Structure 1
Amino acid sequence: MLNVDDLSVWFGQAPDRVTAVHDATFDVAPGESFGLVGESGSGKSTILRAIAGLIPGWSGRIAVDGQAQAGDRRDRAFFRTVQMVFQDPYASLHPRHSVDAVLAETLRLQGMDRIDQRIVTLLDDVGLGRGFRFRYPHQLSGGQRQRVAIARALAAEPRLLLLDEPTSALDVSVQAEILNLLADLREEHGLTYLMVSHDLSVIAHMCDRLAVMQQGRIVEILPAARLRQGQGSTPYTTQLIAASAGYKAEVARPLRWPPKTGH
């Protein structure tokens, strides 16, 4: 479904050009969920934005369902196949557009018919129901806004979803609900996912395989089963897994509050 070969992405022009991604190569099979992990600034989200046509400066090859992409222009056929869900659902929704307006606009842009019926179906698919149809973003919780953003992405009936930290802006109590929703939608609609997250537990739960990124380069591609077992082939992956495991009791013990005063 997705082929990325020798992808490099940069910002600015020489001599001030900064390269954010260096020679990234990976494939995502139809129906697979593939993760990109790494510390902040490692280039994960930059790859998603280059695929979506949101960054003009890139070289290499990006192909979706066998169709090579060029530059930062994407045609309607591309967006019928690929949609993106962004990190912050409040920022990605127009504050003065109701849920109905958001979904209706997307459906019209994609040339869909039976707009009313499709809106009701989309809201049902993401677990909101028609009672949310005429609400505005400020009337919704963070989790509800992200459900609307997912419904908007599904409106085009895509086969590949680019998921950019889809739960990181949400409360912990809501994150699991959205992840379970995404897992259910993938199964029901036969979707392919490319997911970015700094949370290894999210990737281990959601993905089949993952690429580990460091300073703009892919240092390792491994099955999620090895991530769940805490196994990495490179020192950086091992360090990343150890850091994600949380604090160690013997390290935290001296940091207890309040400290002893000696009196």
Structure 2
Amino acid sequence: MLRVEDLTIWFGQPPDRIDAVRGVGFDIAAGESFGLVGESGSGKSTILRAVAGLNPNWSGRIEVDGRPLRADRRDRAFFKTVQMVFQDPYASLHPRHSVDAVLGETLRLQGMDRIDSRIQKLLDDVGLGRGFRFRYPHQLSGGQRQRVAIARALAAEPRLLLLDEPTSALDVSVQAEILNLLADLRAEHGLTYLLVSHDLAVIAHMCDRLAVMQQGRIVEILSAAQLRGDAAEAPYSRHLIAASLGR
């Protein structure tokens, strides 16, 4: 579903150019959940933004479902296949748009019909009842806002979701609910995930495989079983695992 080859992403122009990601490559099969993990500034979210078309300054190759992407544009077919859920549910929703307006606008932009019934189905899918449809973001908790953001991403009926730290801005008590919702949606809709997180426990719970990133490069690709079994080989991977366990 997603193939990345020799991907380099930069900010600025010479002589001030900074390469945030250098020579990265990985593949994600249809239906797979793949994680990117590493310390802050390692390039995880930068990769998601390049795939989503939010950063055009990259070289290499990105393919979605066998179609190569251009750095400078994304067409409607892309957004019907790929959607992104952002880290901060407080910033990703328009404060003056109701839930109904947010979802209705997205559905209309995607050329969908039966808007009313689709909105209700989306709310049901993310565990929000009819009573939430005409509420505004300030009337919702952080977890409820993130459920709306997930519903908005699902409105296009995508096959690949880019998840940028989708629970890190939420209370600990709510994080597990959102992660379990995402796991259920993946199973129900056959979705493919590219999940960014600094939390190895989240990655181990949500992902089949993961890439460990350090200073813009991938140092190791592991299966979730290898992660849980403390079977990493790269010194930095072992350091991350040890730190997450408090060793």
TM range (shorter): over 0.9
Q: Report the Cα offset of residue 140 of structure 1.
A: 0.2
State whether residues 50 and 56 of structure 1, in contact with CA within 8 Å, keep that contact through their aligned partners in structure 2. yes
Q: Report the Cα offset of residue 231 of structure 1.
A: 1.9
Aligned length: 247
Match of 2:80, SS state, is helix
State whether residues 50 and 72 of structure 1, in contact with CA within 8 Å, keep that contact through their aligned partners in structure 2. no
Distance 1:129 1:115 in 2: 16
Q: Which residue of 2 aligns with 1:33?
A: 33
Deviations 1:128-160 (A, max 9, x none): 011100000000000000000000000000000
Q: Which residue of 2 aligns with 1:97?
A: 97
Distance 2:71 2:39 in 1: 27
Distance 2:93 2:187 in 1: 26
Distance 1:245 1:99 in 2: 39
Q: Which residue of 2 aligns with 1:241?
A: 241
Deviations 1:54-95 (A, max 9, x none): 001100000000000011310000000000000001100000
Distance 2:72 2:177 in 1: 34
Q: Which residue of 1 aligns with 2:121?
A: 121
Q: Which amino acid aligns with 1:94?
A: H
Distance 1:22 1:129 in 2: 45
State whether residues 54 and 72 of structure 1, in contact with CA within 8 Å, keep that contact through their aligned partners in structure 2. no
Q: Does 1:211 align with 2:207?
A: no
Instruction: Output aligned runs, 1:60-209, within 5 Å.
Output: 60-209=60-209
State whether residues 87 and 168 of structure 1, in contact with CA within 8 Å, keep that contact through their aligned partners in structure 2. yes
Distance 1:161 1:65 in 2: 13
Distance 2:50 2:213 in 1: 16
Match of 1:186, SS state, is helix
Deviations 1:190-242 (A, max 9, x none): 00000000000000000000000000000000101111112211000000000
Report runs of 4+ in structure 1 exceeding 6 Å deviation.
none
Q: Which residue of 2 aligns with 1:220?
A: 220
Deviations 1:143-196 (A, max 9, x none): 000000000000000000000000000000000000000000000000000000
Q: Which residue of 2 aligns with 1:43?
A: 43
TM-score by length of 2: 0.99
State whether residues 10 and 17 of structure 1, in contact with CA within 8 Å, keep that contact through their aligned partners in structure 2. yes
TM-score by length of 1: 0.93
Q: Percent identity?
A: 83
Distance 1:221 1:202 in 2: 16
Q: Which ranges of structure 1 fall in alignment gaps of 5 or more residues?
A: 249-263
The Cα RMSD (Å) is 0.6
Q: Which ranges of structure 2 fall in alignment gaps of 5 or more residues?
A: none
